[in-house]
Structure 1
Amino acid sequence: MAAATLAFIVTRSAPELVAPSRATPRELRPLSDIDSQDGLRFYRSGLHFFRGGGAGAGAAAPAEVVRRGLADALVHYYPVAGRIREVQPERKLVVECTGDGVVFVEADADVSLSDFGDVLCPPFPCYQELLCEPDGNCATVVGRPLLFVQVTRLRCGGFVFGLQMCHNIADAAGAVQLLRAIGEMSRGMPAPTVAPVWARELLMARSPPVVTHRHPEYDETAAGGNHDKLVNNEPLVQRAFFFGAKEMSALRELVAAPAGAVAGAGVRISRFDMLAAFLWQRRAAALEYADDDEVRVMFVVNARGRSPPLPAGVYGNAFAFAVAACTAGRLRESPLGEVVAMVADAKARAASDGYVQSVADLMAQRGRPRFGRAARTYLVSDVTRAGFEGVDFGWGEGLYSGGPAAVTLATFHLTAKNASGEDVIAVPMCLPAAAMERLELDVHMSLNH
């Protein structure tokens, strides 16, 4: 991990608007009811670290190359160069394709890649310096640029690509698709390999809306209202946990133990199910919830390849949230195999036919409620298979790609390398200091039994 005491100075250029390099249509593009939910009204940040030199260097600076690739990619992704408007009284969001452009900043930092330490993973020191805008869950998206990009050249010749993208316009898979297109155009390709598809009408609410499934992910009265040990102003600490081959093997042994055989009766157990179940159980124990407190894990289920079928190239939000819940006492006492079964069952429900359509209808029927407000909820998202590591602006794949710039109460499963160079899953966490100490000890003891 990078030293928490690392500090450096960044000199930024004045922000500029990068518009599509050619004329693009001027039109209104409605966002889907999945896109328009209130919980997605924020900017998702991400950092990509690249070495200098190589085929992409030449005489051109990284910022110059990326700026040109960005302008060319926006010809194909021209709604991203527009502005979101809100249609009353339903508060539905639309994109006005104005061609105004996205924000671009060129910067220089007096720091080298090696100064960030042996392991590149959030929390990154001084991460705000690598982004255009202050990072946070800003709910103001109407009328603002939809994408902010900063390219920061480092002292060693490497650079950091930092982005902040409005979540209403794209999910993780959509962001990867756009970033790969920028990379391809930066490398001189005439068009993106994957042509972007709008198709937001496929995830619109029906008229009238018909909610056909239960949606506990939008139930704000569950899990004890707002009472939670994470909202009592206690200082939080950040730590990343790493799961390589050794740790995942230890987890499989825990799941397959006789007491945990519930999850293993001929059913394939995904690494996400296993890891999410393990950390949900250990995190809840570390926070010392009362036995009768309801605790939850909530996570993203990709809707691509499910019903309704979505064409290749769709870059909008195409996912649903799955929720598993039980009492803290039951969670603590259950063998890991049973907890994995809870997670797998929740995933199956959210992946069932018609579930995402039901979410779209719920948005229209209930005024686009936010998700995840219930207390004692462990919110986790797996981006290890999203494809961020394939982003290449001409300098090869990044040393670290795509994860959030900071550690928040929401948790991500990220692709990283540990200090030995092994490919691992990194899971940054944010907890009160005493709970983090308990979690670290529990994870260590459980994986080294």
Structure 2
Amino acid sequence: MDTSLVFTVRRREAELIAPAKPTPREVKPLSDIDDQEGLRFQIPVIQFYRKETSQEGKDPVEVIRKAVAKTLVFYYPFAGRLREGRGRKLMVDCTGEGILFIEADADVTHNQFGDALQPPFPCLEQLVYDVPGSANVLNSPLLLIQVTRLKCGGFIVGLRLNHTMSDAAGVVQFMSALGEIARGMQQPSILPVWRREILNARDPPRVTCSHREYEQVPDTKGTIIPLDDMAHRSFFFGPTEVAAIRRLVPPHQRQCSNFELLTACLWRCRTIALQPERDEEVRIICIVNARAKFDPPLPAGYYGNAFAFPVAVTTAGKLCEKPLEYAVELVRKAKGDVTEEYMHSVADLMVTSGRPHFTVVRSYLVSDVTRAGFGDVDFGWGKAVYGGPAKGGVGAIPGVASFYIPFKNAKGEEGLVIPLCLPSEAMQRFVKELDNVLNTTPPTSAFIVSSL
């Protein structure tokens, strides 16, 4: 998409929207998965909607504003504020104060964004406005929603979520409920379930699994990616690109999933691009949704964090010099580590180790949101043209994470778009390496769909 696009957004002052009816005044502890250090940040989501003739005369700002108040009656913890207790335990004080809501107008049309809507988005900070002083994890609004009308009659919904409250599946559940109520339903089709105690540490806690994802690794060689001179690009992987990568693994491994294949390939190319020493340990962390790993599975309406950060660790030399199937096998095994016992073991580790952050040094984290359903959220104007993460990265740490986002390119091919953030020189090396893998012509490869 055209990342050079510049436009003006006029915002009304942010307001607090409280639940439409009185809600319980209580304190609700988060789970011991929710309140780990690595989730204590705000995550932005963005949805683009086209003009819909059947909605002529309706204002999306008013429709969504009213729906927020009604939806918060069911999701009233979102209207509260986080407090921290003993042992860094987080809990929601259900005060009913409300969430932040911003009404805005932009002097731009949907078409000016171009066909290929994907991160990085131009003027993102204008579309999900970070209200000064509102982004603290504690004692701040847990949700911020900005609805921006476009000149063409379309609109953009930007949402900022305190990640300790929900994962991708949880926030989509809330947004889907908001959409249902915006379309006239009296209550969500899936009612929210709190039940955070399911993912609490056991008594006494007992760490039964290996959790190298939480090892505290010293950054002796300054390899945490620098904030200055960062290049942001998104890469498209459709059937052609996936087939080209799949040809690089032996026949007995070709039944591996697209996720395993792409993750192995990106991890390897990215490591080559960053040029660590051969003997340095490098890590791939795969986000794994654990909802179905429980017996019985977690309740359908559970909207807390229910995923793990399983990791594979090897040396840069082995990863870059061995064939691709070596990395594929490491990714496959890491994903397979996640079980119900693994989740209980993580919760126990959080309580016994002070709720550590996952390892960031020489780590690459990937999260597949293709099945999360961001694009299906409908406020009455149909499904989103784009729906999903507003940018790559995790919290204040750029370059560590990539999301796998469902995407249809200009030719109508369905695939994934994957945002990546690297220092500029490393990005050039990454593009060249990936070009070699895909056997295309550098440096203007068709798989780069945007850059900033």
Query: Shorter-chain TM-score: which interval?
Result: over 0.9
Q: Which of 247, 256, 263 lines up with 1:269 in the alignment?
A: 256
Deviations 1:369-410 (Å, cap 9, x if unpaired)? 11133x111111111111111101000011100122466412
Aligned equivalents of 1:370, 1:47: Cα separation in 2? 26
Aligned equivalents of 1:94, 1:234: Cα separation in 2? 35
Pairing 1:15–2:14 present: yes
Pairing 1:347–2:328 present: no
- Aligned partner of 2:344: which letter? Q
1:288 — aligned with what? 275
Q: Which of 55, 61, 64 lines up with 2:62 in the alignment?
A: 64
Q: Which runs of 4+ in 1 moved over 4 A?
A: 134-138
Q: Name the SS of the counterpart of 2:190 in structure 1.
A: coil
Measured after TM superposition, the shift of residue 446 of structure 1 is 1.1
CA, structure 1 residues 144+106, in 2 after alignment: closer, same or farther (shift >3 Å)? same
Q: Which of 298, 302, 305 lines up with 1:310 in the alignment?
A: 298
Q: Which of 388, 404, 422 lines up with 2:374 in the alignment?
A: 388
Aligned equivalents of 2:91, 2:134: Cα separation in 1? 20
Q: Which of 195, 199, 213 lines up with 2:195 in the alignment?
A: 199
Identity of aligned residues (%): 48
Q: Name the SS of the counterpart of 1:72 in structure 2.
A: helix
Aligned equivalents of 1:343, 1:447: Cα separation in 2? 20
Q: Which of 181, 186, 195 lines up with 1:190 in the alignment?
A: 186
Measured after TM superposition, the shift of residue 117 of structure 1 is 2.2
Contact persistence 2:45–2:388 (CA under 8 A): yes
Q: Which of 169, 176, 190 lines up with 1:180 in the alignment?
A: 176
Aligned equivalents of 1:99, 1:386: Cα separation in 2? 28
Q: Which of 97, 121, 126 lines up with 2:94 in the alignment?
A: 97
Contact persistence 1:256–1:337 (CA under 8 A): yes
Alignment map for 1:82-121 (pairs within 5 Å): 82-88=80-86, 90-121=87-118
Aligned equivalents of 1:332, 1:8: Cα separation in 2? 43
Q: Name the SS of the counterpart of 2:292 in structure 1.
A: coil
Aligned equivalents of 2:181, 2:227: Cα separation in 1? 46
Pairing 1:125–2:122 present: yes
Deviations 1:84-131 (Å, cap 9, x if unpaired)? 11112x110111111111010000011111221221011111100001
Q: Which of 393, 396, 402 lines up with 1:411 in the alignment?
A: 402
CA, structure 1 residues 406+74, in 2 after alignment: closer, same or farther (shift >3 Å)? same
| RMSD (Å), alpha carbons | 1.9
CA, structure 1 residues 168+234, in 2 after alignment: closer, same or farther (shift >3 Å)? closer
Aligned equivalents of 1:94, 1:270: Cα separation in 2? 38
CA, structure 1 residues 313+183, in 2 after alignment: closer, same or farther (shift >3 Å)? same
Aligned equivalents of 1:159, 1:382: Cα separation in 2? 26
- Aligned partner of 2:77: which letter? P
Measured after TM superposition, the shift of residue 417 of structure 1 is 2.1
Alignment map for 1:150-169 (pairs within 5 Å): 150-169=146-165
Pairing 1:443–2:396 present: no
Contact persistence 1:26–1:98 (CA under 8 A): yes
Q: Which of 229, 232, 245 lines up with 1:251 in the alignment?
A: 245
Measured after TM superposition, the shift of residue 53 of structure 1 is 2.2
Aligned equivalents of 1:271, 1:437: Cα separation in 2? 25
Contact persistence 2:366–2:403 (CA under 8 A): yes
Aligned equivalents of 2:210, 2:229: Cα separation in 1? 36
2:444 — aligned with what? none
1:33 — aligned with what? 32
Contact persistence 2:19–2:71 (CA under 8 A): yes
Measured after TM superposition, the shift of residue 137 of structure 1 is 12
Deviations 1:254-309 (Å, cap 9, x if unpaired)? 2235xxx4x35xxx422111111110011101111221111111121111011353
Measured after TM superposition, the shift of residue 311 of structure 1 is 1.3
Deviations 1:118-159 (Å, cap 9, x if unpaired)? 210111111000013169995x21111100000000111111
CA, structure 1 residues 367+230, in 2 after alignment: closer, same or farther (shift >3 Å)? closer
- Aligned partner of 1:425: which letter? L
Aligned equivalents of 1:228, 1:422: Cα separation in 2? 40
> Any unmatched runs of 5+ in structure 2?
441-452
Q: Which of 68, 71, 74 lines up with 1:73 in the alignment?
A: 71
- Aligned partner of 1:19: which letter? A
Q: Name the SS of the counterpart of 2:291 in structure 1.
A: coil
TM-score by length of 1: 0.93
**Most deviating of 57-66 and 121-130:** 57-66
Measured after TM superposition, the shift of residue 44 of structure 1 is 0.8
Aligned equivalents of 2:65, 2:187: Cα separation in 1? 16
